[in-house]
Structure 1
């Protein structure tokens, strides 16, 4: 076999890799240009590490989720707040395609995610986890590769210091009018500066409102508290009932 015939299978660190599985466009042109093959990879563990919940991470994922929800279900496992179906409907995400899985034990949540990824019943899985052992991350990555679902694992920002089998790791920090994306790991050249991704304003915000793309320096060790992007949709209170599978 000639070297030329293997060229497509060789990844050079100064080049963007090509995903074997499919990709789903993020809906943000600036971000797509920084992702291998121009979108979120399917059948892979994607780590998102927000500085704190509610800084715009769901609005970042909304275009991809809306695309997936047109034909397949979306599963939320251990979200920090109860899903608000009115907000999802306003984003064009049908509530009947949304499943909410809540468990009392971490081991049960990990088992549930692994089974969902392997059985191919859903198009996207979002899993919120505070602490994950390395062997658990490896099992989740293998389970994701066994199916074709989009899989986002959301962990606190300090976990950026830990090793992970995920081929794509992004740290997220709040920025006025959008979100700052730090590329921690990807199959492509290193990026030393954060990427500012503007997010669509909620309808209640005036189109002429001022925006500021100033971001906070990335320092996962010293972070304890962080400002929340007030343009983000309000989090539903726990007393609001939502259609869910528990």
Structure 2
């Protein structure tokens, strides 16, 4: 069991992956994004830079697949390749119902074959969040839920919760919850401009990313 004081950042045995942003890593328990746990990214509008924020960590995961569940629009293959996310690593999962999306997330986490799962979710009950957080503990997967900023006041089992706001340089990041003291000042995280990553009319490269429906997911994540 890892013990920590409320006045100190937790330094337990939680596995982490480097964020790629020294100012952010310095404020996170363990010095990076926790693996095998739920991470909340809270945004006023999806697509404000969450993928660019996560890109260094996704690259650090090696060749393990990255699952994109219910992204805000169609992933733009050219844009994702530009930020270093090879399309043969990406799995785009679509679900017509919230229940199917939650089921898909749990299957991906329990399978443990994906290096990361990024799940854009407008609605999720507390019981569903607890179930997913528990499923995440079965493997060293980077599990990030991108959810509305309005839920920042709601309870969450997430080990880490960050509120993201766009800025001229990239993002302003407020640490809503971490294992340690409150972080009073927002962090300014610079992000490099990139081509469009999401679009209703996305352009795909000659190697389009794998796409699967929720209820046909089992074979994909077990590969």
Normalising by the residue count of structure 2, what TM-score does the alignment of the two structures yield?
0.89
What secondary structure sits across from 1:15 in the alignment? coil
d(CA) in 2 for partners of 1:243, 1:25: 25
Q: Tell which deviates more after alignment, 232-241 or 54-63.
A: 232-241
Provide the aligned length of Structure 1 versus Structure 2: 209
What secondary structure sits across from 2:210 in the alignment? coil
Runs of 5+ consecutive residues of structure 2 not aligned to the other structure:
213-223
Match of 1:164 in 2: 156
1:25 aligns with 2:23: no
Cα distance, 1:77 vs structure 2: 0.5
Cα distance, 1:181 vs structure 2: 0.5
Runs of 5+ consecutive residues of structure 1 not aligned to the other structure:
1-7, 203-231
Match of 1:136 in 2: 128
d(CA) in 2 for partners of 1:46, 1:137: 11
Cα distance, 1:237 vs structure 2: 2.7
Higher relative contact order (CA 8 A, sep 6+): 2
Match of 1:177 in 2: 169
Q: Which has the higher strand share?
A: 2
Give CA-to-partner distance per residue, 1:165-200, whole Å, 9 cap, x none.
Answer: 111000001111110101110001101221111112
Change in Cα spacing, 1:110 to 1:117, as seen in structure 2 (3 Å) is same
Q: Cα RMSD over matched residues?
A: 1.5
Normalising by the residue count of structure 1, what TM-score does the alignment of the two structures yield?
0.81
Change in Cα spacing, 1:125 to 1:234, as seen in structure 2 (3 Å) is closer
What pairs up with 1:58-207 in 2 under 5 angstroms?
Answer: 58-68=51-61, 70-202=62-194
d(CA) in 1 for partners of 2:197, 2:161: 26
Cα distance, 1:201 vs structure 2: 3.4
Pick from 184, 193, 209 the counterpart of residue 243 of structure 1: 209
Larger Rg belongs to: 1
